[in-house]
Amino acid sequence: MTAGASVCYNEKMEVVHFTEKSAGECIVKAVEVLQRGGVVLYPTDTLYGLGADAFSNGAVDKIYEIKGREDSKPIHCIVTDLVMAERYAEISRSARVLAKEYSPGALTLVLKKRGVFNTGITRAIGTVGIRIPNSDICMEMLRMFRMPITTTSANLSAKVPELSVDKILAQFGDHGKLIDLVIDAGELPESRPSTVVDVSGNDPAILREGAISADEIWTTLKDPR
């Protein structure tokens, strides 16, 4: 198969193979899908993720349906930087300290959302989870789309995330039919998910220990550089 060639696995899903040569085409296709409320399976610096317009009710509903996930469990998003994040959330001092040390990278910050937002991933909750990825493809998608993109791992709820597109689609089964575009970057290296830290209130709390250890988080907050 030539670089950048695409294959249709079903009527809706298109698969494009990510290479240095096809990178631009992949990103353009992804943004077109996001703009029309679709879902993209894409590689990140941690795992493959499911991407959609983070503030579209319909697009976020598709993510929940694909994962078979309870809608009471929040979905997070990626942003280019704290400037973008600040449009949607209040950035606490603890958030700035942690972002300075660990972003871009495997750190998700749960922040108090700005009150004007109540759609997509912010429906019926007072917070929004954001991550600044250490990934060129993610950053280019964000720059072109100019809005946050969902970044939940590409797996069925309660199932272990797979590292290759074939295994991910096999795990999803019929659920995967809601995916519009797959960016296949091959098998990703073993990686832990991001560490999730709630910094929306006065007392930070680690909601999930991942690639960044709890000890590192607490040390940084206690003695910021």
Strand pairing of 181-184 and 40-43?
Answer: parallel
- Domain parsing of the chain, residue ranges: 6-222
Domain formed by 6-222, architecture: Alpha-Beta Complex (3.90)
Alpha-carbon distances of 162 from 30, 87, 93, 203, 216, rounded to whole Å: 21, 33, 35, 34, 27
User: Per-residue pLDDT tens for 144-174?
Assistant: 999 999 999 999 998 999 999 999 999 999 9
Residue 178, both tokens: 């809601």
User: Per-residue pLDDT tens for 167-195?
Assistant: 999 999 999 999 999 999 999 999 899 99
46-79: burial string, b at 16+ Cβ within 10 Å, e else = bbbbbbbbbbbeebbbbbbebbebeeeebbbbbb
Do the Cβ atoms of 203 and 181 come closer than 8 Å?
A: no
* pTM to 2 decimal places: 0.92
If you ran DSSP here, which 8-state letter would residue 122 be given?
Answer: G
Angle between helices 23-35 and 136-145 (to 10 degrees): 40
Cα angle value 140/194/210 (rounded, 5°): 160
For residue 11, the model assigns a pLDDT of 64
Residue 49, both tokens: 């993720």
Collapsing DSSP to helix, strand or coil, 182 comes out as strand
Q: Cβ–Cβ contacts within 10 Å for residue 224, how many?
A: 13
**N-to-C CA span, the chain:** 49
Phi, psi at 195, each rounded to 5°: -85, 130
For residue 71, the model assigns a pLDDT of 85
pLDDT lower than 50: segments of the chain: 1-9
Alpha-carbon distances of 55 from 13, 21, 40, rounded to whole Å: 22, 31, 15
Residue with tokens 């700035």: 96
